[in-house]
Amino acid sequence: MIRLPLSWVQFLIDIGLLRRPHFLVKDVSEPPDEFSEGFVFREVRGGYQKWLYLKCPRSGEHIQIQLAGARRWTISIDWLNRPTVAPSIWQTGSCQAHFFIRKDVIDWCRDVGAPRQGGSRYV
């Protein structure tokens, strides 16, 4: 699938043709020094997906998700660089955030009672 360069997506947002999604994907070759809100960083080395990094939408904590190995998550990216991550992401040791990322929507799981915000919903 062809993906638009992030600069093009940002241009479409700036001129008002698109609304800003909760998350866009940026490919990196090593873990980022800083996690920017609104981005999911996909670490790709040697053509292989290794890790996914993002800020928790509830607490702002850094989340690191394994994309390689026996127990892993999967990520699919649409043509606008919006991620869909499966299975759900659950911060069991900290703020208890439990959610899915589906395109530009955060789907909160009901078991944590996350506050409803624009662009997110309960599943």
- Over residues 64-89, mean pLDDT: 91
Burial class (CB in 10 A: 0-12, 13-18, 19+), 78: middle
* Segment 29-64, tens digit of pLDDT: 998 888 888 899 999 999 999 999 999 888 888 899
DSSP 8-state secondary structure symbol assigned to residue 115: P
What pLDDT is attached to residue 72? 85
- Whether this prediction's pTM lies above 0.75 is answered by yes
Contact 101, 88 (CB under 8 A): no
Contact 36, 30 (CB under 8 A): no
pLDDT band at 67 (very low <50, low <70, confident <90, very high): very high
Other CB atoms closer than 10 Å to residue 95's CB: what's the count?
15
Which of residues 66 and 123 earns the better pLDDT score?
66
pLDDT band at 121 (very low <50, low <70, confident <90, very high): low
pLDDT band at 69 (very low <50, low <70, confident <90, very high): confident
